[in-house]
Amino acid sequence: MSPRPGTAGGTGQVVRGLFSRLWLAALLLAGWEAVTRIVGESYFPPPSEIAVTMHDLWFSGPASRLFLTEDALEDFGHSLYNLFGGWVLACVAGVAVGVALGLSRRLSDYVEPMVHFGRAIPPPTLLSFYVAVFSLGTPMQVATIVSGVVWPVLLNTVDGVRTVDRLHLDTAEVFGVRGGRRLLRVVLPGAAPKIVAGLRISLGIALILMVLSELVGSTAGIGSLLIGAQRSFELPEMWAGIMLLGLLGYLLNAAFVAVERRALGWHLNAREAA
């Protein structure tokens, strides 16, 4: 009989599972540390020095603030506000338009050419346009994020709505489930796996565009710190910002996967059974 989670055997399994996932990262960090120490190149500081810089910059504050410094509150607050603000706006717009296009072939025939035209434009090329329209600041940064994030959400939603099982739609029709009830009870649940896949992809794109938007004329945020450290040749700070972005991306993805497993447990279980 397998040990229960509260037993020593269960704890041992958790520890072994954690080690099996982290051993490669630890090995890479050790190799990085050894190579940079041997080479001694100032442009590539060792990870131990980067970790000390990250601690001094962001995680050496008082315990009452969860050890966050003033710089951390300013940089993280500004960047995360832009990140989640742009991501949420893009997700709402992408799902709404995607559902409309997925349900109406006639509307899709008119709109889809413009959708494919718009998604082919790289968001960085629109920075000058957004600066002219919104000037420098949060609106410009949020607009940059929205312009790149909305497309994977929209296209995945369209695909998800169009691939809802026809049997489910016919059954709903037979039982008189129409209009908004059909949308909420049949269409959206059936399209949810692909919609969520688009949301997950878009979150990574939002992180990239968040940094990109803060490289232009911003005085706060992780991207602003990166470009400032690069220009003043404060290389440990620059690498600290890069490592922080990697950790932030990992944590956001892990959190999204946890929510996905809770929300779409029925779908994951069905897929594993199949």
User: Which 3-state string (H, E, C) describes the chain?
Assistant: CCCCCCCHHHHHHHHHHHHHHHHHHHHHHHHHHHHHHHHCCCCCCCHHHHHHHHHHHHCCCCHHHCCCCHHHHHHHHHHHHHHHHHHHHHHHHHHHHHHHHHHCHHHHHHHHHHHHHHHCCCHHHHHHHHHHHHCCCHHHHHHHHHHHHHHHHHHHHHHHHHCCCHHHHHHHHHCCCCHHHHHHHHHHHHHHHHHHHHHHHHHHHHHHHHHHHHCCCCCCCHHHHHHHHHHCCCHHHHHHHHHHHHHHHHHHHHHHHHHHHHHCHHHHHHHHHC
How confident is the model over 95-152, as pLDDT tens digits?
Answer: 999 999 988 888 888 888 898 998 898 888 888 888 888 877 888 899 999 999 999 9
Task: Give Dmax (Cα) for the chain.
Answer: 73
How confident is the model over 159-199, as pLDDT tens digits?
Answer: 998 888 777 777 777 767 777 778 878 888 888 889 999 99
How confident is the model over 20-54, as pLDDT tens digits?
Answer: 677 888 888 899 989 989 888 888 889 999 999 99
Q: Which CATH class is domain 63-273?
A: mainly alpha
pLDDT of residue 208: 92
The count of other CB atoms within 10 Å of the CB of residue 50 is: 23
pLDDT of 2 over the 70 cut: no
pLDDT of 81 over the 80 cut: yes
Mean pLDDT for the stretch of residues 86-91 = 94
Question: Roughly what angle, to the nearest 10 degrees, separates helices 70-103 and 47-58?
Answer: 100
How far apart are the C-alpha atoms of 254 and 266, rounded to whole Å?
19
Region label for 189, one of left (φ > 0), alpha (ψ between -120 and 50) or beta (otherwise): alpha
Q: What is the pTM of this model?
A: 0.82
- Report the range of poorest mean pLDDT among 4-8, 196-200, 223-227: 4-8
Tokens of 24: 């490669």
pLDDT of 6 over the 50 cut: no
| Distance between first and last Cα of the chain | 26
How far apart are the C-alpha atoms of 261 and 200, rounded to whole Å?
12
Tokens of 260: 């996905």
Region label for 44, one of left (φ > 0), alpha (ψ between -120 and 50) or beta (otherwise): beta
pLDDT of residue 1: 43
- Report the range of poorest mean pLDDT among 10-19, 47-56, 148-157, 219-228: 10-19
Domain range summary for the chain, segments of one domain joined by + = 1-40, 63-273
CB 102 within 8 A of CB 161: yes
